[in-house]
Amino acid sequence: MPVNINRYDEKITRRLFFSMVPVQILLVMCGGISLIIDSAFASNLIGPDAMAVTGLYGPFAKICDSLNVLMFGGAQILCGKYLGENTVKRARAIFSIDILVMSIIGAVGMILCVFFPFIPASLSVSGANPLYPGLMEYFRGVGVGILPFLLGTQLTSFLQLEKKEKIGYIAIGGLFFTNALCDYLFIKVFKMGLFGLGLATSVGNWVSLIIPAVYFLSRNASFKFGLKGLKWSDLADIFKLGTPPAATQFLLVLRGLILNYLIITIAGNAGMSAFSAVGSFGYVYWAIPAGMTSAMVTLASVYTGEKDRSALELLMRIYLKRAVPVVVAGSLVLSALCVPLTNIYYHDPSAPVYTMALIGFCLFPLSSPISTIFVGWRDLWRCMDFMPPVHVGIILDGLAFPVLFSWLLSMAFGMTGIWLSQVISGIGVVMVMYIMAWIRQKSLPKTCADLCCFPKDFGISSDKRLNLSVHSLEEAINISETVIEFCHAQGIEKITSARAGLCVEELTVNIVKHGFSNKANSVVDISVTHAGEDLIIKFKDNCQPFNPKEVDTIFNPEDPAHNIGIRIVRKVCKEME
């Protein structure tokens, strides 16, 4: 049976990609579901003014999101690169500085909101507005949970690198349940009003922090917090890499403030109330694309660290052909649910606010697929340090195009123009990205490789790399011949070529025998790279994960004949990770 040569099997990357997506979707939905729960309780148990208050809180929530994305967005890429380079200690140092900085920011934010709520409240509305006192009470309540919100989001995100997504699901489920229960108790039973509404969210945030924190404090965690080896210079690298997505969030803050003013001007309080209702579902609309893009940047950062051009091109193809259609389907479902979603907040179809919200719930989800294309594309360029077009795209998508089209279309179509502008501005940004790729490539982009815009000196040239995909024991048995032929073509001496063939065949057969058992669609991808004086061999499979803690029992067994094949491979290699 012939081996698949110089081509990766898509199944491994596809499975890796989609295994990361669910927890990322839930992470993005954390704040959104809490906001939806708060908004539903606010509109039904407190009144329409409370609904407006949750909308006015939106810009501050975006500031918290910006800080979260700034730190984890950069830390995620650095940890991915260090793991790709097998420097685990450096990855742990990045984790530690991330947690330390977010703890400091969270403590400052908590003090600000609880003891000086007039400062954040003044960002959204003037002191003369009748909503101002209620907004300050809401800030006091929600401020108690700012520290756990920031830390909990970071820890739950790192659970993905620990392969402990189930703990993340439990933490997120605990957040939703606790928030809903406390909303009912604090508002319905104890009559605590807007302060109780915010406090319920805070209690949920503390629950979502404690659950992952218990794991990271245990012996089982690979990422451990510690000041040893911590380098403050790493913070500059985190900021550099995390700035693009964080800048997007910060621009959304400015955009929110501008749109709030524009909406009140053209549609009054009814328009603002409708915008708040649809905005409360914004996290849900964005959750699926954000989950896709987060998985994209995680894998892209690892492949960039490995300088693996083929894997990056494959990842881009999976993203566009598999992930984007899923987002399209999700957005169409949400758009079709516009009537029941509107009825969560408003119950009189004859009221102007009902009509404006209905149109928003119908049109706004349609912007998600376009945003998915832009953000994934942007983050791939960001991993490869292709920064000028990244910054251009961020400014256009985060502020310039949405504000421009909102102003133009609202003048002609009122509140409907606001919703239409979300879709049209996204199309404009993707068109600009395509033009920038055209300029960089100096030709019309036609393939995924063209869209990636690889630098000329990026990665190892195809003639220096051998890619193999093995699906069965028959393919694995004679794979050494293919490796030896490649090594001879590279001018590598015979003894090294023979050892390379031995290593590849021995480990491949081992993976097939022990990893493919009772498992359909199993595959192992192997890359053999001639880099300078080194010959680097890498294996990726979709079998059961290897437990690094078992390494001593493998390489130092009581039975000398046990695992002899893998121990021979280790002996002939200069380095094995």
3-state secondary structure 531-568: ECCEEEEEEEECCCCCCHHHHHHHHCCCCCCCCHHHHH
Q: Are strands 524-531 and 465-470 parallel, antiparallel or unpaired?
A: antiparallel
- Residues 6+ positions from 456 with CB-CB distance below 8 Å: none
Position 267 scores a pLDDT of: 87
pLDDT > 60? residue 336: yes
Torsion angle of alpha carbons 22, 24, 28, 34, nearest 10°? 60
When pLDDT is averaged across residues 310-321 and rounded to a whole number, the result is 89
Q: How does DSSP assign 388-450, residue by residue?
A: HHHHHHHHIIIIIHHHHHHHHHHHHHTHHHHHHHHHHHHHHHHHHHHHHHHHHHTS---SHHH
When pLDDT is averaged across residues 124-133 and rounded to a whole number, the result is 82
Of the chain, the percentage scoring pLDDT greater than 90 comes to 32
Ranked by mean pLDDT, which of 128-132, 280-284, 414-418, 468-472 comes out on top? 414-418
Encoded tokens for 120: 């954040």
Position 549 scores a pLDDT of: 46
Say which residue, 334 or 383, is predicted with more confidence. Answer: 334
Position 178 scores a pLDDT of: 93
Position 548 scores a pLDDT of: 45
Position 300 scores a pLDDT of: 86
When pLDDT is averaged across residues 443-448 and rounded to a whole number, the result is 90
Domain layout of the chain by residue ranges: 4-448, 464-572
Q: In DSSP terms, which residues pair with 526 in a beta bridge?
A: 468, 539
- The predicted-structure confidence for 187-233, as pLDDT tens digits, reads as follows 989 999 899 999 999 999 999 999 999 999 998 887 888 888 788 88
**Which amino acid makes up residue 58?**
G
When pLDDT is averaged across residues 415-429 and rounded to a whole number, the result is 93
Q: Taking the mean position of all CA atoms in its chain, how far away is CA 332? A: 22
When pLDDT is averaged across residues 291-310 and rounded to a whole number, the result is 80
Report in angstroms the alpha-carbon separations of 455 from 164, 304, 452.
35, 12, 9
pLDDT > 60? residue 555: no
Full-model pTM? 0.68
- The predicted-structure confidence for 531-554, as pLDDT tens digits, reads as follows 878 888 888 887 776 654 455 455
Say which residue, 83 or 358, is predicted with more confidence. Answer: 358
pLDDT > 90? residue 147: yes
- Least confidently predicted of 185-199, 301-315, 405-419: 301-315
Q: Output b/e per residue, 471-500; b: 16+ Cβ within 10 A.
A: beeebbeebbebbbebbeebebeeeebbbb
Position 63 scores a pLDDT of: 82
Position 561 scores a pLDDT of: 58
CATH 3.40.50.300 for domain 464-572: no
Position 432 scores a pLDDT of: 96
Residue 487 to residue 123: CA distance in whole angstroms = 64
When pLDDT is averaged across residues 281-288 and rounded to a whole number, the result is 74
pLDDT > 50? residue 530: yes
- Least confidently predicted of 24-33, 342-351, 539-548: 24-33
Three-state SS at 281: coil
The mean pLDDT value of the chain amounts to: 84
Say which residue, 49 or 513, is predicted with more confidence. Answer: 513
